[in-house]
Structure 1
């Protein structure tokens, strides 16, 4: 698969991985739609990209998942089609289960899960009508196994795998592709913006995230996985091995996570 002449729609494009994707994809002779909540930040990302005449911005909030049909209608007006949807938008969480308000769990599910699948379902008829389309979903290593202090985040990311595995099966006949991208630690602001027990932001970086992959390194590996149309790609330093340890030695992974600095 090539990105040349494709229309690629990126959510969560205002910072971190989404911004890194925009910067890299703008070099690859494709058209981009950049989405996030903050219009001004999206404009800044667009202006930082090369080939900005082939970039449009479409601000919206994933939490408003009832509006996704209208959002898709607006997206299709920009270039007439969408070829690849990169579901990158979302938030994280850092708090003990016993202290965490159920409102935090609800917000994580609304944004990370319901917002993502509502957008994907709204775009689905377009993909089916064209008999082509590629969903790329930025999940997490935490979508394959869990760790302390991330219960709501892990729950939402695990749910994404269940939904998109079903979508891949149902629409194999329509030539649709699904690639689940599972980052380990990437040096972004995800920890600073993570919700704590009362729903406020954590506000500081954690050591594991700060020592994670640089965004540009991660993005290059991610785009390689998309080109290869992989079903799943685990991208990190050492932490990706946890997926395989969980599969064959779940008790060992339990002990390793407890001993690590992840929490």
Structure 2
């Protein structure tokens, strides 16, 4: 495990222990079980979507709040720009996040019918419930941080709460673990997306080539998500041609003074590319054109 993930694991454990001291797991489960459902994650039939991210700080990019007057206005811009979901960082040590940001985002996004995803370094089902209590409709689960039994426990908790999961991998070994875990869940009623994060966790640099190198290794039957490194409209076209169905975009949108417009351009390019690819596949199947 990289230095960053080791630090985040310890920070997550400390926060978990403090939260349990304030509210028992039984009391938290009772509270979230009585909540109305969060907005569902709905993906466009046009073949491409964006999960837009709200984070005030990044270990690699530093302060990201210059173009953000408040969480509510930023996530509202994302929803109006067409984001299928909004990822909200709740990790305080390196990302400037807090659970209150999640609550505030969910409050303004619910009328737009857009779900919020808790993005954090989760290690225990309690934190999935904690996210749901704050209004989240989905959670991030990082394969590299957890053994298979712990991944399964987090997925089970999310499924019981009708929350979607973004299961995040960083390399081929992570994807192999993800495939093993998911192979045991074919009969489960749940919504799981599988993300490939192309950030090097030691150098904190982006290796965009990882998205192409491992595109064929993404688990079949699960929506593939490209994470990190999607910075331009051209990047969107590239990842869609590689087969990715969703992009999680954070720093680029946070740095934009007009995120709604940027989202619109990216979605338009991604969907046009996806529809063009689908049309070509249909023509190949009909024998109208030859496969290259």
Q: Same fold (TM over 0.5)?
A: no
Interval of TM-score (by shorter of Structure 1 and Structure 2): 0.3 to 0.5
Structure with higher Rg: it is 2
Q: Could you tell me the TM-score, scaled by structure 2's length?
A: 0.36
Q: Could you tell me the TM-score, scaled by structure 1's length?
A: 0.39
